[in-house]
Amino acid sequence: MTFTTASGKGNGPVVGAKASAAGPRPGSPKNKQPGNASARKWAEIGLFVGPALLVFLVFVVYPVISAVRYSFYKWNGVKQFSEAEFVGLDNYRRALFGQGIFKKAYTEPFLTALSHNFEIIALSMAIQLPLALLVALILNRQFRGRTVVRVIIFAPYVLSEVITGVMWFVILDPNGIATRIVEALGLHSPAGGWFEDVHWGFWTMFFVVSWKYLGLAIILFLAGLSGVSKELQEAAAIDGASWWQIQRRINIPLIGPTIRIWAFLSIIGSIQLFDMVWVLNRGGTQGQYSTVASYMMDKGFYRSDWGYGSAIAVIMFLISLVVAIGYMLVILRRDNSTTAKN
């Protein structure tokens, strides 16, 4: 942030011993505070930030560091961690480059789960994004009941993934209503059941995820569209621009930042997707829509391979970190530089 330079200036004496150890600081004797005032200030800072920092360090930072540490060990979680066997990078090797039996038992399921995450990302961008954008553009006008429509479309966002998952589990029961509707139309429902079918299971899961999250995208895009100047659109219309031209040349570019942030959140969410997948039979009975997170929980927690599970967690973290940083550097940088100019 822009405050960085301010923080070091003019308050050198306040930090007392530390500051003088770091060298002479600018600061007239006038604003030199007596020692106990400085101590008081630090006590206040400690009082305000301390609790949050403590909770954050204990429940976020320490477990993340522990996950990295565990990932170098073979450990079943039953005996003391001090007795666990140090295996170096073995857990990572199993997940990524396993050979022979390890390939079948570790590498293949992991890479399958990972590929599912990336398929979800690709499908979100190829299906959810255009669909949500189109709906938002179409709904971006005055009509009776507009507010109600927006509220209803947004409602699934507030339902938990668990409840959404169970709801669709019932609807998409092999003997349920979805099957009957499809068969009444003269079509065949997936042979193995909507979720169990090796080919269709993944698509069914993606449909359910989309049902829950499309509304969020639509609402975010509509909020962005409400900020687009109406004069601009009217001027274009007077000049004879078609509806689609107005959308393509004015509305879509102007809500670009919103779209790009949505895409960012969607990508990160897709990499960490867990709840929905887990509720729907723990990633499918044959792992037909397992994700990295569901695979990690299955191996680490439910099969007590804590070291291996932690390695998967670390890999997942590194992937989301690389993707996030790459996205920010390549795509979001443009937005930030334009806002900085304003």
Partner 1 sequence: MTLKTNSRRPVKGPTPGLWARYRAYLSRTGLSPSASNYFSIGVAIAGVGLTLGPIIYLVLGGFKDLHQYAMNPSGLPDPFLFRNYWGILSTGLFWRQMLNSAFIAIVTTVGVVILGTMAAYPLARYKFKGREVLYGVFVAGLMFPLTVAILPLYLMIHSWGLVGNPFGVILPQIAFALPVTIIIMRPFVAALPKELEEAAFIDGVTRIGYFWRILLPLARPGMVTVGVLAFIGSWNSYLLPLLILAGDPAHMTLPLGVTAFKGQHGSDNTAIMAFTSLSMVPALIFFIFMERRIVEGLTGAVKG
Interacting residue with partner 1 among 26, 35, 51, 326 (CB under 8 A) = 51
* Beta carbon nearer to partner 1, 76 or 99: 76
DSSP one-letter code for 32: P
Q: Which residue has the tokens 């390695």?
A: 311
| Cβ contact 279:195 at 8 Å | no
Closest to 277 measured CA to CA, from 213, 215, 209: 209
The rounded distance, in Å, linking the Cα atoms of 114 and 81 is: 29
Q: Which is nearer to partner 1, 138 or 191 (CB)?
A: 138
| CB closer to partner 1, 111 vs 241 | 241
Q: Which two tokens stand for residue 108?
A: 């293949």
Alpha helices in 98-199 (DSSP H): 101-102, 108-123, 129-139, 146-154, 161-171, 177-184
In the complex, the smallest distance separating the C-beta of residue 129 from partner 1, rounded to whole angstroms, is: 15
Among 20, 26, 39, 45, indicate the residue that binds partner 1 (CB under 8 A).
45
Of 325, 335, 255, 316, the closest CA to residue 110 belongs to 316
Give the one residue of 122, 155, 191, 328 binding partner 1; rule: CB under 8 A: 155
For residues 296-325, which are near partner 1 according to CB under 8 A?
A: 296-297, 300-301, 306, 309-310, 313-314, 316-317, 320-321, 324
Among 37, 55, 122, 328, contact with partner 1 (rule: CB under 8 A): 55
Note whether 113 binds partner 1 by CB under 8 A.
no
Burial class (CB in 10 A: 0-12, 13-18, 19+), 221: buried
Q: How far is CA 134 from CA 196, 218, 221, 252, in A?
A: 32, 9, 10, 10
From the CB of 222, what's the least distance to partner 1, in Å? 9
**Binders in 57-76 for partner 1, by CB under 8 A:** 58-64, 66-67, 70
Q: How far is the CB of 108 from partner 1 (least distance, A)?
A: 21
- The reply to whether 96 sits near partner 1 by the rule CB under 8 A is no
Vertex 26 angle, CA 25 and 32, to 5°: 90
Taking CB under 8 A as the rule, does residue 77 contact partner 1?
Answer: yes
| Separation between Cα atoms, residue 299 and residue 281, nearest integer Å | 15
Please identify, using beta-carbon distances, which residue of 46 and 103 lies nearer to partner 1.
Answer: 46
Binding residues among 189-248 for partner 1 as defined by CB under 8 A: 211, 215-216, 218-220, 223-224, 230, 233-234, 237-243, 246
Instruction: Give the position of tokens 């900085």.
Output: 340
Work out how close the CB of 309 gets to partner 1 at its nearest, in angstroms, rounded to a whole number. 5
Q: Which of 21, 158, 185, 330 binds partner 1 (CB under 8 A)?
A: 158
Shortest Cβ 60–partner 1 spacing (Å): 5
Cβ-proximal residues to 128 (8 Å cutoff; 6+ apart), any chain: 210, 213, 214, 217, 266
Q: Which of 21, 52, 78, 340 binds partner 1 (CB under 8 A)?
A: 52
Residue 90 or 161 having the CB closest to partner 1 = 161
Distance, in Å, from the CA atom of 96 to the CA atom of 331, rounded to the nearest integer, reads 29
Closest CA to 12 of 21, 29, 30, 25: 25
Instruction: Give the residue with the Cβ less far from partner 1, 123 or 232.
Output: 232
When the beta carbons of 53 and 126 are compared against partner 1, the nearer one is 53
Q: How far is the CB of 173 from partner 1 (least distance, A)?
A: 6
Q: For residues 128-147, which are near partner 1 according to CB under 8 A? A: 135, 138-143, 145-146
The two three-digit tokens of residue 148, written as one number: 């109600």
